[in-house]
Amino acid sequence: MLIYNYLLSGWRNINHNKLFSSINILGLAIGLAAVTLITLFVRSELSYDTFWKNADTLHRSHIVFKIPGRDPFKAVSAPGPLIHALKKDYPQVTQASRVANISPAIMVGAETFIQQVSLVDKDFLTMFDLTSLSGDLTNALNDPHSLILTKELAVKYFGQEDPIGKTLSLDYDYFKRDYKITAVIENSVSNTQLPIKALALIDENDWTDRTSLFAQWFSVNAQLYFQTKNPSDLDHINATFDDFSNRNFPKLPIGGADAKASDFIELSAMNIKDLHLHAVGSGEMTERGNATRVFIFSAIAVLILIIAIINFMNLSTARASQRAKEVSLRKVMGASRSNLIFQFLGESVLVTFIALAISIGLVELALPFYNEVLNKELAINYASTDMLQITGLALIVGILGGLYPAFVLSNFRPATVLKANKSAESSASVKLRAILVVMQFAVSIGLFISTAVVYSQMQYAEKMNPGFNKDNMLLVHRIGLDVVSEKLDMLVKEISKTPQVTAVTWSNETPGNTNENNTMLRLPGMSKDDALLMGQRGVGYDFFATYEIKVLAGRTYQKERNDTPLATAQIREGASRKSSIVINSSAARRLGFNSASDAIGQSIFTSRGNPNENLEAELEVVGVVDDVHFDSLRATIRPEIYNLNATWGQTLSVRFNGNPDTLKTNVEAIWGNAIANIPFRYSFLRQDVADMYKTEQGQAKMFAAFSGLAIFIACLGLYGLANFTATRRTKEIGIRKVMGASVFDIVKLLLWQFSKPVFIANLIAWPIAYWAMSDWLELFVYRIDNSYILLLSAIAGIGALLIAWITVATNSISVAKANPIKALRHE
């Protein structure tokens, strides 16, 4: 019966104070929804590759090349021969497998598909517990003619037919081979760094023409996974990797006779469960997560929750004095303190559960957008323990939020409250509320500054001149395949004829789509040991003109001149002729030339062939071009040379004007006529460049959304509080009005009262935000100045003040306008 009375009085209280209740419930609901969304994200990020049966003992090796005068080159792939040395030197390593992703053309009957295939070693199947849908996995990769498909591909290629035993043909460009399907496995899950579509066995003999893949120590094109006996073996391996490198790596081409491999090479290994969030370096098969990001969003979730709980506590304690009479009467009727605490906690939990129901609705509404921004497939699983966890969270929030008000309210002394008929509130609770408001605003302002900094850096990246024109450029990919390469000349001619097209070129790499490829360079007077390692890219004729890259001195490659470099084979046979080379301005500086024009006409030597061959080609610098940002702003521009690829490239770049779609259709038609079988793959340069910042953009959006929510919840609380304060100060306002204060005087008074906490919040938020965001900006070599953070802080501060003013003013005016005698009479 008592419970019924509590529920009734609780419900009527919610109902009676509609403004307070809706602010409380809405604030909590948004807070809970935000926390649920973030938790879904964080949980997914933490779940990567934890599901493998052997997860504790599966590791991947990583490598860092420390190149003098350059950013270190970090890769999550490993040199091809490392696997053999690892198995030989470490008895702890029980199994190991390389994983090289190749995209051959797959011919199924008359149809051709371009599909990523993972080439692996035989141990792969015993290391990773794949789920077989048909076929026997133990013998599925016994020979280099076996192929395992995922269900997705099996259905795509063979429909409903049983694929086991069927054959298809893979064209690797170097060679062609028929494969027999030996097994079909379950589709790869989304939370793995090892997404598999198709598996075939590595046979090193197949790749003798392309040693960089599996045979070279200084090329890293395949990932290397290995399994140890015990999880702790990883520490031992990491601790002894330097000696291992010195034993196994061949003599380095840099650093002189005394150089050790470990001076320039850093091997390391990481457990498979840590890869998604902690691995560093290029060569990942699928986008990685980021531990900092997970941490930041977890922190935001906690902050939002704190803001929502603070609101809840604030509004409840603020209303405490209004309920003082009820409390006092209940006490007079015999209620004990614990009765009252129980009642108020119950009320707070009741409010939280109403908020919970609304929050689940909000989460379901937000999930489609959320998933799109994050490129994930997150969902609440109602059948699992998800609901239990969410309910638990609500319960904790309800109790936390209700605890303080419950104790304050239950502590009222009935005699004082009933007799004095004055504000029953202690100055301690007023002070606590002020502190809580300061905290709320500090958090909101901090989040706002962070969002603004992330957004500004994105804008900076977007607007910064990369050194080339990224607009109106269509890229046609996969022109390196033999069948396309043969027709490159014709393709270029045909596409050039299209009315919209102004220029066409080809290259091995395009901005946002690069490889790490280096060569040794030395000036004539330099010894080979002092040679400098620099980046190299292969470009076609008209590359610089098509990309609108500024030529600082000299000229670029011209068909009329004999610019084509000697082939390595020709040098082997003793041919010696200077070839032309175009370098960037960083390379000119690194080589020691005082200016771009000083470099023109100078000779440099570049190493060719295998490191042990000692072959060199002599180059004459014919042109120096401006430094351009091929890679993201996170990387420093490297010194690099641009080799002429007169007849071959990976990507065709088409500069055009007018409608992109029309152009794409026309180019696709030309492709379709010239090249049967190979699907047309294209992209626009602008998008490729933007994609380099996809992670940051997703982060910026999430940041913006959640800090917006935090600010909104804080404002809700402020609104309620301002409303309450205005009510509480009715008498004072009345007196002041009788004394001659105008409406404006009164509003000013209330505004000032709420400006103080916002000022203090700024003082707290600024240094923290400055520290955190200058740290974040360090990730970018090219970034906005730190003084921007201060500017944005000032904007955030003024913004917060304005928002607080608007919030307070909207409900102060009506109070200030009220007839003072009403206020004074209510005594």
Partner 1 sequence: MLKIQNLSKSYRTENVETTALNNIEIEIKKGEFIAIMGPSGCGKSTLLNTIGMLDSPTSGHYWFNDEDVANYSEAKLANIRKHNIGFIFQSFNLIDELSVRENIELALLYHNIPSAERKERVEKVMQQVGITHRANHMPSQLSGGQQQRVAVARAVVGDQTMILADEPTGNLDTQHGHEVMEMLQELNANGKTIVMVTHSPAHAEFATRTITLLDGQVVEPALKAVS
* Paired sense of beta strands 640-644 and 532-539, if any: parallel
Neighbours of 9 (CB within 10 A): 16
Measured from the CB of residue 739, what is the shortest distance to partner 1 in angstroms? 5
**Binding span for partner 1 by CB under 8 A among 48-56, 342-350, 575-583, 814-822:** 814-822
Closer by beta carbon to partner 1, 764 or else 818: 818
Q: Rule CB under 8 A: choose which of 211, 238, 271, 423 binds partner 1.
A: 423
Closest CA relative to residue 220, chosen from 176, 170, 267, 256:
267
**Binding span for partner 1 by CB under 8 A among 103-111, 226-234, 275-283, 728-736:** 728-736
Measured from the CB of residue 401, what is the shortest distance to partner 1 in angstroms? 28
Q: Write phi, then psi, for 689 (nearest 5 degrees).
A: -70, -40
> With 0-12 CB in 10 A as exposed, 13-18 as middle and 19+ as buried, what is 396?
middle
Closer by beta carbon to partner 1, 389 or else 730: 730
Measured from the CB of residue 737, what is the shortest distance to partner 1 in angstroms? 7
Measured from the CB of residue 322, what is the shortest distance to partner 1 in angstroms? 17
Q: Cite the DSSP H helix spans in 47-196.
A: 82-89, 124-127, 151-158
CA distance 254 to 263: 10
Measured from the CB of residue 422, what is the shortest distance to partner 1 in angstroms? 8
Measured from the CB of residue 423, what is the shortest distance to partner 1 in angstroms? 8
Closest CA relative to residue 36, chosen from 365, 283, 262, 403:
365
Could you tell me how far CA 543 lies from the centroid of its own chain?
A: 31
Measured from the CB of residue 822, what is the shortest distance to partner 1 in angstroms? 10
Cβ pair 97, 124 in contact under 8 A: yes
CA distance 593 to 621: 11
Measured from the CB of residue 417, what is the shortest distance to partner 1 in angstroms? 16
**Binding span for partner 1 by CB under 8 A among 79-87, 292-300, 310-318, 726-734:** 726-734
Measured from the CB of residue 752, what is the shortest distance to partner 1 in angstroms? 14
Q: CB neighbours of 16 closer than 8 A, spacing ≥ 6? A: none
Closer by beta carbon to partner 1, 673 or else 742: 742
Q: Which of residues 509-548 bind partner 1 (CB under 8 A)?
A: none
> Does residue 624 sit in helix, strand or coil?
strand
CA distance 321 to 409: 8
**Binding span for partner 1 by CB under 8 A among 25-33, 343-351, 663-671, 729-737:** 729-737
Closer by beta carbon to partner 1, 215 or else 741: 741
Q: Rule CB under 8 A: choose which of 3, 8, 464, 821 binds partner 1.
A: 821
Six token digits for residue 219: 């090329």
Number of H helices and number of E strands within the chain? 27, 25
Measured from the CB of residue 817, what is the shortest distance to partner 1 in angstroms? 8
470 contributes a contact to partner 1 by CB under 8 A? no
Closer by beta carbon to partner 1, 548 or else 745: 745
Amino acid identity for residue 207 in this structure:
W
Amino acid identity for residue 582 in this structure:
V
> Does residue 442 sit in helix, strand or coil?
helix
416 contributes a contact to partner 1 by CB under 8 A? no
Neighbours of 231 (CB within 10 A): 14
Measured from the CB of residue 740, what is the shortest distance to partner 1 in angstroms? 3
Closer by beta carbon to partner 1, 498 or else 753: 753
Closer by beta carbon to partner 1, 194 or else 726: 726
Closer by beta carbon to partner 1, 41 or else 412: 412
**Binding span for partner 1 by CB under 8 A among 191-199, 381-389, 661-669, 730-738:** 730-738
Q: Write phi, then psi, for 263 (nearest 5 degrees).
A: -70, -30
Q: CB neighbours of 422 closer than 8 A, spacing ≥ 6? A: none
Dihedral of alpha carbons 219, 82, 208, 171, sign: negative
CA distance 42 to 786: 30
Q: CB neighbours of 27 closer than 8 A, spacing ≥ 6? A: 308, 311, 312, 713, 716, 717
Closer by beta carbon to partner 1, 321 or else 507: 321
Q: Rule CB under 8 A: choose which of 434, 520, 704, 824 binds partner 1.
A: 824
Q: Rule CB under 8 A: choose which of 467, 639, 734, 757 binds partner 1.
A: 734
Total binding residues toward partner 1, as defined by CB under 8 A: 20
Closer by beta carbon to partner 1, 422 or else 493: 422
CA distance 68 to 351: 63
Amino acid identity for residue 76 in this structure:
V
Measured from the CB of residue 824, what is the shortest distance to partner 1 in angstroms? 6
Measured from the CB of residue 809, what is the shortest distance to partner 1 in angstroms? 18
732 contributes a contact to partner 1 by CB under 8 A? yes
Measured from the CB of residue 315, what is the shortest distance to partner 1 in angstroms? 22
Measured from the CB of residue 428, what is the shortest distance to partner 1 in angstroms? 15
Measured from the CB of residue 349, what is the shortest distance to partner 1 in angstroms? 35
106 - beta bridge partners? 113, 170
CA distance 281 to 778: 17
Q: Please list, residue by residue across 566-598, b when 16 or more beta carbons sit within 10 angstroms of its beta carbon and e when fewer do.
A: beeeebeeeeeeebbbbbbbbbbbbbebeebee
Q: Rule CB under 8 A: choose which of 43, 325, 528, 731 binds partner 1.
A: 731
Closest CA relative to residue 284, chosen from 533, 49, 628:
49
Helix axes 694-728, 427-463, angle to 10 degrees: 150
Closer by beta carbon to partner 1, 360 or else 437: 437
Helix axes 337-374, 694-728, angle to 10 degrees: 150
**Binding span for partner 1 by CB under 8 A among 143-151, 699-707, 716-724, 732-740:** 732-740
**Binding span for partner 1 by CB under 8 A among 292-300, 597-605, 657-665, 815-823:** 815-823
Distances in Å between the Cα of 670 and the Cα atoms of 356, 487, 493, 506 are 58, 11, 10, 16
Closer by beta carbon to partner 1, 186 or else 732: 732
CA distance 827 to 809: 26
Closer by beta carbon to partner 1, 321 or else 440: 321
Measured from the CB of residue 732, what is the shortest distance to partner 1 in angstroms? 5
Closer by beta carbon to partner 1, 152 or else 745: 745
Closer by beta carbon to partner 1, 567 or else 821: 821
Distances in Å between the Cα of 360 and the Cα atoms of 259, 355, 370, 584 are 62, 9, 14, 56
582 - beta bridge partners? 623, 642
Dihedral of alpha carbons 241, 242, 245, 247, sign: negative
Closer by beta carbon to partner 1, 466 or else 734: 734
Six token digits for residue 820: 């003072």
Cβ pair 97, 121 in contact under 8 A: yes
Closer by beta carbon to partner 1, 239 or else 739: 739
819 contributes a contact to partner 1 by CB under 8 A? yes
Rg (the chain; Cα; Å) = 34
403 contributes a contact to partner 1 by CB under 8 A? no
Mask for 735-774, x = binds partner 1 (CB under 8 A): xxxxxxxx--x-----------------------------
Measured from the CB of residue 20, what is the shortest distance to partner 1 in angstroms? 24
827 contributes a contact to partner 1 by CB under 8 A? yes
Closer by beta carbon to partner 1, 236 or else 826: 826
**Binding span for partner 1 by CB under 8 A among 207-215, 345-353, 495-503, 818-826:** 818-826
Residues that bind partner 1 (CB under 8 A): 422-423, 731-732, 734-742, 745, 819-821, 824-825, 827
